[in-house]
Amino acid sequence: MADEAETEDAPKKKGGLVPLIGAFAVLTLVGGGGGWVLGGMLAEKLAPQVAAAKAEAAKQAAAESGKKEEKKEEGLPKIATEANGIVQLEPITTNLAYPSENWIKLDVALMFNGPPDPKLAEEIHQDILGYLRTVSLQQIEGPRGFEYLRDDIQERVDLRSEGRVSKVMFRTFVIE
C-alpha cells in the first residue's frame, strides 16, 4: 500500500522528448550561425593570401607543362622496356566461354631472363588469348579464382617459353 501511495503522489513526466528536440534544434542553429559568422570574418582576412596562392599555383602549373613538353621531346623512360628485359603485351580482350556475353580484358607484361624475344612474346600473347576463351566466369570468380587463373597463365608461359620468361605481371584485369 505504501508503494501505491508514493506512485499516486509523484507527478507524471510529460513531454520529455519535445523539449530535448527543441534544445537540440536551438543549439544547432546557434552553432551553424556562429560558424557562418566566423567563416565570413576569416574569409575577408584570408582573401588576399588565397588569391596569391592561386596565382603561384598557376605559375607552377605553367612551368611544369613547359617541362613536360621538353620531356616528351626527350622521351620519358618507361618501366616496361626491352632494356629492362620486360615486354608489355598488347591488351587481350575476348569473351569468356560461359557466359559468352561476359568479356575479359587483360594487360600483361613478361619479364625475360636475358634479352627479350618479340616473336616469343607474340606467341605467348596468342596462347593466353586462346586460353582465356576457354575459361568460364565461375572459374575465375573471387580471389581464389584469380589466383588459379594467374597460376594457369604462368604455367602456360613457362611451357611456351621453356624457362626464358621468369615472371608474368598482370597490369589490368577487368571482367565486364
CATH 3.30.479.30 given to domain 82-175: yes
Which element (helix H / strand E) includes 118?
A: helix 118-132
In degrees rounded to 5, what are phi and psi of residue 157? -65, -40
CA-CA distance, 64 to 95, in Å (whole number)?
42
Q: 100-137 pLDDT, tens per residue? A: 899 999 999 999 998 888 899 999 999 999 999 999 99
Q: Where are the domains of the chain?
A: 14-76, 82-175
Residue 71: CA count within 13 A, CB half-sphere: 9
Q: 32-78 pLDDT, tens per residue? A: 898 888 888 877 877 787 777 788 888 887 777 665 555 454 544 55
Residues 6+ apart with CB under 8 A from 148: 139, 140
Which element (helix H / strand E) includes 134?
A: none
Q: 69-108 pLDDT, tens per residue? A: 554 545 445 555 666 788 889 999 999 998 889 999 999 9
Its pTM stands at: 0.54
Amino acid letter for position 125? H
Q: 145-176 pLDDT, tens per residue? A: 999 999 999 999 999 999 899 999 999 999 98
